Structure 1
Amino acid sequence: MPRQIGQSVMLREYRRDDLPWIRQWVNDPNIVGHLSDIFLYPHALESTEAFLEAMLEGNPDSRGFVIADTATETYIGQVNLDSIDWKNRVGRIGIVIGSTEHMGRGYGTEAMKLLIDFAFSEMNLNRLELEVYDFNERAIRSYLKCGFKEEGRLRERIYKNGRYRDVLQMGLLKSDWKTERAEKLV
């Protein structure tokens, strides 16, 4: 996969030397509290190594990218297309910024825009989708900025921090992406 280069971040391949960076956030409650329940329990080193090895080997139904600093290529986070449905041209996105010091700086939004451009223009996907918890306001703002629309709400779908919370389902169509790009050129 060719690297996708932005102003502040690039999307690059996973490397074995990304392991310490991933280990820094994978058990950090400030990071994983906004992620899926696969992070409900602590992750052993072997689990993280197995994930990284899978990303290095590749999978025809997913594509993974490290979000890295453009100048230094240092790991900031990761954004993955999981469960790609090649027949229907749909990809499911998961993203994480791996440290609180990198949050709120626009890195996630820039990385998402790079991934969206790549998914629609190079992979020829027609639809991108994701799920986000209703309390993750920063992520929701970022996804809306990238063109995603709320398509559904699973009421009280998850139990987090002592209460039931909603899960928002969001999607972005290639046709909407094309229209937005055309409007920016005018």
Structure 2
Amino acid sequence: MLKGSKCTVRHLLTADLNTFIALVNDLPSRGDYFSTQFKSPETLRKEFAQTSFVTEDSELFVIEDQHHHIVGVITHFKSRTPVTREIGYRLFDPALAGQGYVSEACRLLVDHLFRTQTYHRLELLTAPENKASVRVAEKCGFSAEGVLRESFFINGHYQSVQLFSLLRPEWQATRR
């Protein structure tokens, strides 16, 4: 588990499963940047029983506030090259936006990945108009590289995404 001053980033526990399923499948909380497709509760339970949402290709964590409530999710997963990992995140309750949960969770995960793995590059992809997500990337030291035009099909239309990256030497320079 990764502990910060605002939140804890940890693996999902069996005791969390029903709450997690309800949160992850809450369509209104997804907003404009997440697909409205969702997995059935039984499919999620089966996947959790098999892998606990941790494989070589991806690892899922929940973001927990100081009162032990799950407020979001953060994950890292296989990217285009073996030296690169992509990070994704979602805050479940829009009313919690701007309170620093996702920024702190992202910093904790970035530090963990660079300290424990050999990855050279971490990436974040976000809709350019998703100002909150762009701000998380910037606060965590990621640099904008460009826009991948109409590269995702979400909720019936193509969306462009902005690519951000953080290289190991850049991360190391901020840790000195």
- Superposed pair shares fold, TM > 0.5: yes
Relative distance call for 1:52 and 1:96 in structure 2 (3 A) is farther
Separation in 2, partners of 1:56, 1:25? 15
User: Retained in 2: the 8 A contact 1:21–1:98?
Assistant: no
Task: Determine the structure 1 residue equivalent to 2:9.
Answer: 11
CA deviation profile, 1:46-95 (whole Å, cap 9, x unmatched): 233244335516312322221112x443212111111167x833211111
Separation in 2, partners of 1:11, 1:45? 23
CA deviation profile, 1:149-185 (whole Å, cap 9, x unmatched): 1112122334557765421111111111111222xxx
User: Retained in 2: the 8 A contact 1:90–1:128?
Assistant: yes
What secondary structure, in the 3-state scheme, does the structure 1 residue paired with 2:52 have? helix
Structure 2 residue 25 is the aligned partner of structure 1 residue 29: no
Partner AA of 2:123 in structure 1: E
Separation in 2, partners of 1:6, 1:128? 20
Deviation at 1:102, TM superposition (A): 2.3
Separation in 2, partners of 1:165, 1:134? 9
Partner AA of 2:6 in structure 1: S
Say what the alpha-carbon RMSD is for the aligned residues.
Answer: 2.4
Structure 2 residue 168 is the aligned partner of structure 1 residue 179: no
Residue identity (%):
27
Unmatched runs of 5 consecutive residues or more in structure 1: none
Of 71, 77, 80, the match for 1:76:
71
Aligned length: 175
Q: Which moved more, 1:12-21 or 1:139-148?
A: 12-21
Of 115, 132, 136, the match for 1:121:
115
Unmatched runs of 5 consecutive residues or more in structure 2: none
Q: Which moved more, 1:71-80 or 1:162-171?
A: 162-171
Separation in 2, partners of 1:6, 1:65? 14
